[in-house]
Structure 1
Amino acid sequence: MIRRLRKVYLARFAGVMLLMPAAAGAQEGVALLEQNCGGCHMADETGALSRIEGQRKTPEGWLMTIVRMRLFHGMEITPDEQSRLVHYLSDTQGLAPAETEGYRYILEREPAVVEEVGAPLGEMCARCHSAARVALQRRTQDEWDLHIDFHVGQYPTLEYQALGRDRDWLKLAREEVVPLLAERYPLETDAWTAWAAAQKPEATGSWVFTTRLPEQGEAYGSLEVSGETQPYAVSGTLVTAAGEELPVSGKLNVYTGYEWRANLDIGGTAYRQILAISEDGGSLAGRQFLHAEDSLGGAFSAVRAGASPAIAGVVPSTLAAGSDASVQIVGTGLSGVDLTGALEASGGTANAYGAAIAVSPAAGSDGGVSVASAGAAKEDALTVYSHVDSLRVEPAFGLARVGGAGGSASKVPARFEAVGYWKGPDGETGTQDDIRIGVVPATWSVAPFNEEADQLKDVDHAGKMDRTLGIFMPAVAGPNPERPFSTNNAGNLKVLATLGEVTGEGQLIVTVQRWVDPPIR
């Protein structure tokens, strides 16, 4: 059942966001809700269905609810109807943009976020799933109370698990957690009232963007979104920092008026975008990652082409001093570019992505460079460096998972970046006033994290690090007869990035498979 759950979650999640019909209209949505949910949820005098009316969720949250109804309560619904129902519920009972701020990392599937969750939610909720999963829903107090009943019924051993058996879990949940959740995440908010009445931004049109690919590094390009109904068609071009042009094509659905969910083919590789359209419709922000492996991806930033002058970013964003280079200013409405700071230059040649400018940073130059053009500006959009005082590995703590071996769970790699720093005013490295340079090239390796890892030869068994890309590919899952007790290929490793005489260090835990992988973890 656990494996089937994982497969269904992932298959339906991919399907509902790809090649599905347009969002349901109001009347159609009401009919869909009644047809598929009315058999179990009773309607009140206004026609609103019990339980459903007291909740608001993200598209992924509503999808998880519907899948659970199918798996555990026998709900029968076609993929087409499921997609339309997710659209309708997300549009009418979703979250406003302001309500997702600070928690989008869980929607964007950032692989290395460490939450800091205070009591009582840390012990009562975040011991089983992310705190962001709690924060990305809104309920009435009665619904939060019923949510406690759901947990006890669905997971009857939770009161006897770690951080549960040492306290009166149910009493705390009822008397402390429910009032807290009802106050912090209520159903009715000014933000949702305003967003529900607001004019929603358009996804269609032209966009120029910057992003980072797992193997090619920094990239930029353009997207054209077209169509009268969803899913919209997406086409465009991505240009790597090395100048290689890759065709882009795919499909896009938009939920709640701003939640951008696209599946794209970029040069023959499948990618997924989870982005948010800004409330004014002028920009996009979020994360793009490999469809087959969400741990490998990067931030995505875009501005609407043809709108007011705006700058999405600069590629490359770090530049070694003492050599000629071409810098692409990614933006729209740029009539001429001025670079100021550690690098002074003006002019540039307009192109489909903004403007390209030839630069020659002097040897020994160090510092940030601000970009301005036609009234648009971006401070410290580019950093020129002639030396690096220290390196930091990002993320400082990473996670990879063994997999494969014929099982349903694939390997989950981990990706790291080397970020250069200069000493700050105190003249010391590794202190709070260090000055960030940005991502710099490095040589990658791994070492045992501690004595136990050395004894167990984790470096030999846990997987391999790509010396150039900083991508760690874990080993195969299953018993390994070459290890003590034939244990699996788990490991505890130091991640080392080296540039010249400078080395940065992080930690990587290589652990076992994740069998159940819902859209919101």
Structure 2
Amino acid sequence: MAKRTAGLTAAMLLTFTSAAPALASEALVQDICTACHTGEDGGLTRISGQRKTPEGWMMTIVRMQQAHGLEISPEDRRAIVQHLSDTQGLAPSEAAPFRYALEKDPNAQESFDEPFASMCARCHTGARGLLQNRTAAEWTLHMDFHVGHFPTIEYQALGRDREWYKIARTEIAGYLAERNPLETAAWADWQAADKQPVAGDWVVITDLPGIGEAYGRLTVTGDASPYQVSGDFVTADGTKHPASGRMNLYTGYEWRANLDIGGTAYRQVLALSADGNGLQGRQFDRSNDALGAPLTGARAGAGSVILGTVPSAVPAGAAQVQVVGTGLDTLASSGGTAAANGFGAALSLTAEGNGVVTFSAGGAEGQIAHYTSVDSIRVEPEFTIARVGGGSDAGPPPVPAYFNAIGMWNGPDGKPGTGDDVRIGRVEAQWTVANAHEHAAHMKDTEYAGGMQPNGIFQPAIAGPNPDRPFSANNAGELKVQAKAMGQQGEAMLIVTVQRFIDPPIR
């Protein structure tokens, strides 16, 4: 299974980086797929009854290679994924609730009602099942597919205590057919909608884990996938990190890019807004997708837009702030002076005590807090997991966790941790870990599970078994991540668990 997973990951990289794309067309699908799929109602059996994300179609094709001996070149595979995503993809509104799975957000937590939760989301994310639309007949066949490919499914935990196959066919298939049918108004409207070319300049704001908050300007060139992307990301101290790579645009809005940013390989899983002028999603380290952050962007010249500031907050005194956005030539501020630049506008300010500087341009508004003190510290995320790893040539690598310390002021009620608290922004903090509870202390989790780095990254220990622990247990543990700043301390919960052996594009 680990070998197959590695093949799947390699295939994904080939798909999104191929420099010689084949012609994406129905003719290519017919040529490649009709060796197994027969024609029906103007389409092909099984294929014509489904709609999926680019990652979903890629997983399907790679499964055909691994399980059924399909021979296909990387170029043809990329082209077929492009064609099927464009003609049988998901509308933006259909994918929106479950983008966390496409973006590999390590902090996302799912909650589904029964019986879908234990019937489907016990083996993979619920999002994986809901990021596809099918005919009623196809949903029923999908239940049969599970038993055919995974015959032990009825004997696994939460499967053997029920008539899994009967429930899948009589309840789950019908539920999914009603919830995620093949034909929807959302998909018909999206197919008919006018779409802007993606080429042009984009102003973006994000965070480079271990480096800091960053803004950038990316230039997209080309007439079709794969597009060329180039530009720079800049951190608060003015350091530039050159960016370059390729991007595929699927379904008219699904942006998938592999970029080199300052010598580190990054992956972007983003979505264009309906008007084609905005970007939103997640950017992460390709070698370890837990190290990533949200990214938002705006098309340069598309009106006045303020995405945020870098840094997100500043200590009181003299400060240089980049207001990130576009169309900010007339930026007016309640404090300091502003000068437009290619990333928005540079704001020079001098402020005393605790307070907020506001600014606006062309109807777009923003603000930045300046501070000498905070009332509390919030650690974000409040809960997440890390995974031990390494320790052998064949084992999966460790999965770290990335935390930020956020300064907070009490709101009108004067109490911390209530709904009216005021978010200041990111602050510098000192990081430590503590045992989460008495049993964790007994197991000495802080000694074995891993440790915090000064930049807010938790680095897990190597995978076990560890002969120094009771029963030679793995180096798992339950920890409190602690951030201390300006006399205040915040905490988050961290579960350090076992390795991730199977890692498909949609988990």
TM-score when normalising by structure 2: 0.96
Residue aligned with 2:385, SS: strand
CA contact (8 A) 1:209 1:303 kept: yes
TM alignment of 1:59-70, pairs within 5 A: 59-70=54-65
CA contact (8 A) 1:395 1:416 kept: yes
Letter in 2 for 1:438: G
Q: Which residue of 1 aligns with 2:346?
A: 356
1:507 aligns with 2:493: yes
1:390–1:23: structure 2 CA closer, same or farther, 3 Å change rule?
A: farther
1:386 aligns with 2:372: yes
Q: Distance in 2 between matches of 1:172 and 1:387?
A: 57
Deviation at 1:346, TM superposition (A): 5.8
- For residues 92-128 of structure 1, give each alpha carbon's deviation from its aligned partner in whole angstroms, at most 9, with x where no partner exists: 1001111111211111111111111112211111111
Q: Which residue of 2 aligns with 1:331?
A: 325
1:396 aligns with 2:392: no
CA contact (8 A) 1:262 1:273 kept: yes
- For residues 132-170 of structure 1, give each alpha carbon's deviation from its aligned partner in whole angstroms, at most 9, with x where no partner exists: 111210011111111111111122222222222222222
Residue 366 of structure 1, aligned match among 339, 343, 355: 355
Q: Distance in 2 between matches of 1:102 and 1:421?
A: 29
Q: CA RMSD in A?
A: 1.6
TM alignment of 1:109-258, pairs within 5 A: 109-258=104-253
- For residues 474-520 of structure 1, give each alpha carbon's deviation from its aligned partner in whole angstroms, at most 9, with x where no partner exists: 11123222222222211111111111321111111111211110000
Tell me the number of residue pairs that the alignment of Structure 1 and Structure 2 aligns: 506
Q: Which residue of 2 aligns with 1:95?
A: 90
Q: Distance in 1 between matches of 2:218 and 2:168?
A: 47
Q: Which residue of 2 aligns with 1:14?
A: 13
Q: Distance in 2 between matches of 1:382 and 1:14?
A: 39
Letter in 1 for 2:359: V
1:42–1:463: structure 2 CA closer, same or farther, 3 Å change rule?
A: same
CA contact (8 A) 2:373 2:486 kept: no
1:450 aligns with 2:437: yes
Q: Distance in 2 between matches of 1:357 and 1:435?
A: 22
CA contact (8 A) 1:337 1:347 kept: no
1:494 aligns with 2:461: no
Letter in 1 for 2:348: A
Q: Distance in 2 between matches of 1:126 and 1:382?
A: 41
Letter in 2 for 1:349: A
Q: Which residue of 2 aligns with 1:293?
A: 288
- For residues 198-237 of structure 1, give each alpha carbon's deviation from its aligned partner in whole angstroms, at most 9, with x where no partner exists: 2222211111111111012111111111123421111111
Q: Distance in 2 between matches of 1:23 and 1:100?
A: 27
Q: Distance in 2 between matches of 1:117 and 1:437?
A: 33
Q: Which residue of 1 aligns with 2:418?
A: 431
Q: Which residue of 2 aligns with 1:40?
A: 36
TM-score when normalising by structure 1: 0.94
Q: Which runs of 5+ in 2 are unaligned?
A: none
Q: Distance in 1 between matches of 2:273 and 2:160?
A: 45
| Greater mean deviation of Cα atoms: 150-159 or 281-290 | 150-159
1:23–1:441: structure 2 CA closer, same or farther, 3 Å change rule?
A: farther
CA contact (8 A) 2:336 2:349 kept: no
Residue aligned with 1:243, SS: coil
CA contact (8 A) 2:320 2:347 kept: yes
Letter in 1 for 2:420: D
Letter in 2 for 1:372: S
| Greater mean deviation of Cα atoms: 168-177 or 101-110 | 168-177
Q: Distance in 2 between matches of 1:185 and 1:21?
A: 35
Residue aligned with 1:157, SS: helix
1:24–1:98: structure 2 CA closer, same or farther, 3 Å change rule?
A: farther
CA contact (8 A) 1:333 1:354 kept: yes
1:23–1:288: structure 2 CA closer, same or farther, 3 Å change rule?
A: farther
Letter in 2 for 1:425: P
1:480 aligns with 2:466: yes
1:23–1:354: structure 2 CA closer, same or farther, 3 Å change rule?
A: farther
Letter in 2 for 1:18: T
CA contact (8 A) 1:201 1:277 kept: no
Q: Which residue of 2 aligns with 1:470?
A: 456
CA contact (8 A) 1:3 1:408 kept: no
- For residues 235-266 of structure 1, give each alpha carbon's deviation from its aligned partner in whole angstroms, at most 9, with x where no partner exists: 11111111101211111111111111111111
Q: Distance in 1 between matches of 2:410 and 2:87?
A: 51
Q: Distance in 2 between matches of 1:435 and 1:179?
A: 46
1:422 aligns with 2:409: yes
Letter in 2 for 1:351: N
Letter in 2 for 1:452: H
Q: Which residue of 2 aligns with 1:460?
A: 447
Residue aligned with 2:28, SS: helix
Deviation at 1:345, TM superposition (A): 2.2
CA contact (8 A) 1:216 1:241 kept: no
CA contact (8 A) 1:23 1:88 kept: no
Q: Distance in 1 between matches of 2:83 and 2:448?
A: 49
Letter in 1 for 2:56: G
CA contact (8 A) 2:205 2:216 kept: yes
Letter in 1 for 2:111: E
